[in-house]
Structure 1
Amino acid sequence: MNPHRLAMLVMLVLLLSACRPPSDGASPTDARGADGVVAFETVRRVLQHPRCQNCHPAGDAPLQGDDSHVHTQNVQRGPEGRGMVGAECATCHGLANPPSAYGPHVPPGNANGWHMPPPDTKLVFVGLSPRALCEQVRDPARNGHKDAAALRVHLEDPLVVWGWTPGHGRAPVPTPRDTFLAAWERWMRAGAPCPD
């Protein structure tokens, strides 16, 4: 192999390895790992807020409201995460939040279509310890087959961004979005360490 190709291959490997957290993450006891664990606590608070966890329950019924109660109307995840035939999420959830004049209990909407993760990769946020949540989020086998770069892209999905502008009568995620994204980046740069 010529030296130029070898150098390009080495650069590609280094770039790709920098884009995904190591399988075991940084040690929570070293300075970089400790900073990453602190950053993950901000990430965890957002992921386990009702705006996020309501679509990431342990079961197949989404949750709703600031109290995360089981969705009424017997709504179910369905085979692709978009509801069951005849009761798809889009049946009630339109392409945008309705105007506040419609009242407080109108289903919110989203340009990308309302949905949950599919049943084979539920990515549960409800009831998990910080460590279990951390391990699941960074594990492609359990997070929808996403590496660190794909997870970061997912954070720009309109349904994720909706959590900060959920519409009339719903509490937004209290952590400012910029603060959340900065914490996410710090956690990833630290190697995505998980708390003990």
Structure 2
Amino acid sequence: MKKLVIMLTPAAMLVLAAPFAIAQESQTPAPVAVDTAKALSEWDKVYAVFSHPRCADCHVADERPRWSGAHYGGTRVHAFNVQRGADGSGFGSPGLRCMTCHFSSNSKALHGPPGAENWHLAPAEMAWFGKVLGRNLRPDQGSLAQWQPQLEGYRGACSRRQTGRLGLGAGIGS
């Protein structure tokens, strides 16, 4: 009898849940009103993070991270021949991994290296260095759609990795 109850329980659950599943599938979602001005205003906040040197400098298409920002006087290739690494991991070459200088937290020295757990270059397919200029990546220009899958996948990972806190760009500049 106990075996019969165990075997019939999943079947009973399926039979009882079926009407609810069908009801959910038949509902059409309510139309969403889009406030373009507000969306662009919010996008400007996201753009400020993506274009900030702390993010953009490691989102490169080639093998070399960049140094940029006002205190560098422009953009230049990272010193010390730092590269993505032959294994493609983005953690650097053996003997000179990113974590050699980029520790688990920011340096306290003025213009010292920023830090976060597992510091490394973003995958090459996530390159946006030099692409996030002006309105290139603005949603009103239609180009955001091509980036959406990658941005969604990296949004949380980048913010936690680069800042040690949740939230896109939290602590940028700190």
Letter in 2 for 1:96: S
Deviation at 1:71, TM superposition (A): 0.3
Give the match for residue 118 of structure 1.
123
Residues 1-10 or 58-67, more deviating: 1-10
**Which one scores higher on RCO, CA 8 angstroms, separation ≥ 6?**
1
CA–CA distance in structure 2, aligned partners of residues 3 and 92 of structure 1: 59
Give the match for residue 109 of structure 1.
115
Letter in 1 for 2:121: M
Deviation at 1:36, TM superposition (A): 1.2
Normalised TM-score (structure 1): 0.56
Deviation at 1:9, TM superposition (A): 4.8
Q: What do residues 169-196 of structure 1 show as CA deviations (whole Å, max 9, x unaligned)?
A: xxx17xxxxxxxxxxxxxxxxxxxxxxx
Aligned pairs for 1:1-196 within 5 A: 2-9=18-25, 32-66=35-69, 67-78=74-85, 79-100=88-109, 104=110, 106-110=112-116, 112-119=117-124, 121-134=125-138, 135=143, 138-140=147-149, 143=150, 147=152, 150-154=153-157, 156-160=159-163, 165=171, 172=173
CA–CA distance in structure 1, aligned partners of residues 22 and 134 of structure 2: 41
CA–CA distance in structure 1, aligned partners of residues 59 and 34 of structure 2: 32
Q: 1:7 to 1:125 in 2, by over 3 A?
A: farther
CA–CA distance in structure 1, aligned partners of residues 130 and 164 of structure 2: 19
Deviation at 1:59, TM superposition (A): 2.6
Q: Which has the larger radius of gyration?
A: 2
Q: What do residues 95-114 of structure 1 show as CA deviations (whole Å, max 9, x unaligned)?
A: 222333xxx3543322x221
Deviation at 1:69, TM superposition (A): 2.1
Q: What stretches of structure 2 of length at least 5 have no aligned partner?
A: 1-14
Q: What root-mean-square deviation, in Å, do the aligned CA atoms of Structure 1 and Structure 2 show? A: 3.5
CA–CA distance in structure 2, aligned partners of residues 35 and 108 of structure 1: 32
Determine what percentage of the aligned residue pairs are the same residue: 29
CA–CA distance in structure 2, aligned partners of residues 151 and 61 of structure 1: 20
Q: What do residues 12-66 of structure 1 show as CA deviations (whole Å, max 9, x unaligned)?
A: x96xxxxxxxxxxx9xxx9623321232123212211212211123432111242
CA–CA distance in structure 2, aligned partners of residues 72 and 96 of structure 1: 21
Letter in 1 for 2:81: N
CA–CA distance in structure 1, aligned partners of residues 106 and 132 of structure 2: 29
Contact kept? 1:82, 1:116, Cα under 8 Å: yes
Contact kept? 2:50, 2:56, Cα under 8 Å: yes
Q: What stretches of structure 1 of length at least 5 have no aligned partner?
A: 15-25, 167-171, 174-196
Letter in 2 for 1:4: F
Q: Secondary structure at the match of 2:55?
A: helix
